[in-house]
Chains A and B, each alone.
Chain A
Amino acid sequence: MSSAAVVIIAILTLAAALAAATLQKLMHAALSFALAFVGVAALFFLLGAEFVGLVLIFVYIGAVAVLIVFTILLTRRDVERDRGVNWSGALLAIAVFGGLTWAILKTQTVAIVAPPVRAISVKRIGDALMTSYVWPLQCVGLLLTAALIGALVLVMEEKR
């Protein structure tokens, strides 16, 4: 049953991702992008990594998708104009696909049964973040605060 679910979710995710890349209206593309993330989060749920799945929904749908949608709304509208085929993009896509396929084919460990891991609970993630990874966490926090203040400074009203 689980493998059937994986196949269904994967098809939905791929369809949403394809729609995000090909749809004419930018807004539809952005919404399909959000849908693709729901699919990825569902895959994480199936794998038992609830925390990662929830954070993915939280960050990518609650924040990033809303941001993208706002950006589309606030910038110039030149939608529905056919720009022809983007050859450099196609080349890049083929290169990435080829590289990934090569790496997957080269990898031998896929068939080997993974060693049993302890179930990753939210508590364990929290412990790890607050003990072994506390410095990276603090640095990221500092960076985000700086970005927040920078954004505020950019939009601040100039007093004359």
Chain B
Amino acid sequence: MINQSIDGFLHPNVSKSVDQVFVNAKQWLLFWLAGAPGWVVQVASSLINIFALLAVFLTLFAVMSVLERKILGRIQNRYGPNRVGPFGLLQPVADGIKMLIKEDIVPARADKLVHFLAPILIAAAAILALGIIPYGRNMTPFTIDGGILFFFAVGSTTELAVFMAGWGSNNKFSMLGAMRAIAQMISYELPLIITVIPVVMVVGSLMPDRIVAAQAGYTFGFVPRWFVFTPWGATAFILFFVSGLVESNRTPFDVPEGESEIVAGHMTEYSGFKYATFFMAEYIGMFAITGLASTLFLGGWHSPVTALEFVPSYVWFFLKLSALLLVYIWLRGTLPRTRVDQIMNFAWKFILPMSFTCVIAAAVWHYAGRGLRGWLWSLVVIAIVYTALSMLLDTQRKFAPRVYRFAE
């Protein structure tokens, strides 16, 4: 089906079959089990989904790890990895082999079982969260009524896993890192969930597929109906993106593993493959949160222009995902690390009130008719709250010698 001639590429049937090529491939695989009992087919179908998900995202993890180092190198005016393979592209393979053959050191006084279970739990939670994201037309691995809720319920178990890692290591640095991580994860989980509420309200469903379907079509024939093009959607998207950045513990919010202060936070006592598992979980969590961001606000797998609708849906999804990941890398190369109290103040004094404003602005948008009038009114609501907040939180004239409470 893919091997058809190029000039027939614009034909709707061809582009449709390219779009559905993975769905059809799965159907074809399941066709071999046609005679088997229902539960065998069900299990096989789930296994195919899980396998595809792991294959795609572990590859993306490898690609991302080398690309990130290359781009950071470019930002910092150096080469980055360039010894293994062409342009250093085989670096992840070398890294993987290195991690696998390293010695696994467990501290003598660590709680062995908890220390062992923590990385597994973190990785499992990160991978499970990937399951509900629609990667393309008919390509949601795990369709569930409360998909968005599932994402956050699974994500909330990460906190316990981080705590297990910190406590199980029996190390002060680990414990401090875990405390920091949990403090900022809990603080930012709230705005993360509240910025999703306007989308859920407007769509009227917790199902990711319905949310993507609600963003189909174009206003005035050329502006896509993505939520990011409404004032409340744009605000919620930015807040969601920043909170997601904090949730995935990345620069500038990588206080939990600030290497200049507390070695590596909750990962201090982990080595070899367990450390690699933590590393992988962090990246997979990042993919999940950016995937959810593009599903909620950037129209999921919808194409931005009518003329480009022949491009398969999953290509659009992964383009959006890569664009957001590129911003993650860019921010990491640009911004220095923030202080703990700055992160907390930012969450509770600015991000949280702004996310509540998004809910109100979305309601205003809905009741003013979802048109231009609603657009302007919701912009007014957001502008008023933003101005008021920035006047209230003005730090310009409050600079004074810093007072240390616990150090001289």
> Which listed residue (B114, B144, B189, B204) contacts A27, Cβ 8 A?
B114
**Interface check B380, CB cutoff 8 A:** no
Q: Which residues of B109-157 have CB atoms within 8 Å of chain A's CB atoms?
A: 111, 114, 144-146, 149-150, 152-154, 156-157
Q: Interface residue count for A (Cβ, 8 Å)?
A: 23
A69 and B165 CA atoms in complex are apart in Å by 13
Interface centre among A25, A27, A58, A69 (most CB of B within 10 A): A58
Q: In the complex, what residues of A have CB within 8 A of residue B204's CB?
A: 123
Q: Answer whether A57 and B157 are a contact pair too, CB < 8 Å, given A122-B146, A123-B205.
A: yes
Query: Does A54 sit at the interface, judged by CB under 8 A?
Result: yes
Interface string of A82-122 (1 = CB under 8 A from B): 00000000000000000000000000000000000000011
> Assuming A1-B39, A58-B153, A73-B167, is B146 touching A50 (CB within 8 A)?
yes
Known: A58-B152, A122-B206, A123-B205. A51 touches B160 (CB 8 A): no
Number of interface residues of B (CB under 8 A): 24
Main secondary structure of the interface of B (DSSP, over half): helix
Q: Judging by beta carbons under 8 Å apart, are B157 and A69 in contact?
A: no
| Also in contact, A57 and B146, with CB within 8 A (given A69-B163, A73-B167, A123-B205) | no
Any B CB within 8 A of the CB of A65? yes
Q: Chain B residues near A15: list those with CB within 8 A.
A: none
Bound state CA distance, A57 and B182, in angstroms?
17
Q: Are A31 and B164 touching (Cβ within 8 A)?
A: yes
Q: Given contacts A54-B150, A57-B153, are A69 and B160 in contact (CB under 8 A)?
A: yes
| Chain B residues whose C-beta falls within 8 Å of the C-beta of A66 in the assembled complex | 159-160, 163, 182, 186
Q: Which residues of A contact B146 (CB under 8 A)?
A: 50-51, 54, 122
Tell whether A63 is near chain B: CB-to-CB under 8 Å: yes
With a CB–CB cut-off of 8 A, which chain A residues contact B160? 31, 34, 61-62, 65-66, 69
A51–B145 CB distance below 8 A: yes
B256 CB, min distance to chain A CBs, angstroms: 15
Chain B residues with CB under 8 A of A58: 149, 152-153, 156
The distance from the CB of B205 to the nearest CB of chain A, in whole angstroms, is 7
Contact with B along A127-157 (1 / 0, CB 8 A): 0000000000000000000000000000000
Q: Are A62 and B145 in contact (CB under 8 A)?
A: no
Judge whether A57 and B167 touch: CB under 8 Å: no
Complex interface: chain A residues within 8 A of B186 (CB): 66
Nearest-neighbour CB distance to chain A for B127, whole angstroms, equals 16
Report the separation of the CA atoms of residues A1 and B43 in the bound assembly, to the nearest whole angstrom. 13
Q: Does A55 contact B (CB under 8 A)?
A: yes
**Do B145 and A61 have beta carbons less than 8 Å apart?**
no
Chain B residues with Cβ below 8 Å from A69 are 160, 163, 167
Residues facing A in B201-216 (CB within 8 A) are: 204-206
Expressed in whole angstroms, the minimum distance between the Cβ of A52 and any Cβ of chain B is 10
Question: Closest CB-CB distance, A117 to chain B, in whole Å?
Answer: 16
Whether the pair A63, B144 counts as a contact (CB closer than 8 A) is: no
**CB pair A54 B163 closer than 8 Å:** no
The interface residues of chain B lying within 8 Å CB-to-CB of A61 are: 156-157, 160
Q: Are B145 and A63 in touch, CB under 8 angstroms? A: no
Q: Considering the chains assembled together, what is the distance between the CA atoms of A49 and B206 in angstroms?
A: 15
Which A residues touch B206, using CB under 8 A? 122
With contacts A31-B164, A66-B163, A69-B163 taken as known, whether A54 is within 8 angstroms of B149 at the C-beta atoms is yes
Q: Point out the residues of chain B lying under 8 angstroms from A54, CB to CB.
A: 146, 149-150, 153
Which B160-217 residues have a C-beta within 8 angstroms of A? Answer: 160, 163-164, 167, 182, 186, 189, 204-206
Cβ of A50 and Cβ of B153 under 8 Å apart? no
Minimal Cβ-Cβ distance residue in B for A1 = B39
Residues of chain B contacted by A122 (CB below 8 angstroms): 145-146, 149, 205-206
Q: Which residues of A contact B182 (CB under 8 A)?
A: 66, 70
Using Cβ atoms and an 8 Å threshold, which residues of chain B touch A63?
Answer: 156
* Chain A nearest Cβ from B95, distance in angstroms: 32
Bound Cα distance A130, B194 (Å):
17
Contact mask for chain A residues 41-83; partner B; CB cutoff 8 A; 1 contact, 0 none: 0000000001100110110011101100110010000000000
Distance A58 CA – B193 CA, assembled complex (angstroms): 12
Which B residue's beta carbon lies closest to that of A65? Answer: B160
Kindly list chain A residues whose C-beta atoms are within 8 Å of the C-beta of B163.
66, 69
Q: Report Cα–Cα, A70/B181, bound state, in Å.
A: 13
List 27 A-B residue pairs with CB atoms under 8 Å apart, sorted by A's residue number.
Answer: A1-B39, A25-B111, A31-B160, A34-B160, A51-B145, A54-B150, A57-B154, A57-B156, A58-B149, A58-B153, A58-B156, A61-B156, A61-B157, A61-B160, A62-B156, A62-B157, A62-B159, A62-B160, A63-B156, A65-B160, A66-B160, A66-B163, A66-B182, A73-B167, A122-B145, A122-B146, A123-B205
Known: A51-B146, A62-B160, A69-B167; 16 extra A-B contacts, CB below 8 A, are: A25-B111, A27-B167, A28-B114, A34-B160, A50-B145, A51-B149, A55-B153, A57-B153, A57-B154, A57-B156, A62-B157, A66-B163, A66-B182, A122-B145, A122-B205, A122-B206
Residues of A within 8 A of B (CB): 1, 25, 27-28, 31, 34, 50-51, 54-55, 57-58, 61-63, 65-66, 69-70, 73, 121-123
Interface residues in chain B, defined as those with a beta carbon under 8 Å from any beta carbon in chain A: 39, 111, 114, 144-146, 149-150, 152-154, 156-157, 159-160, 163-164, 167, 182, 186, 189, 204-206
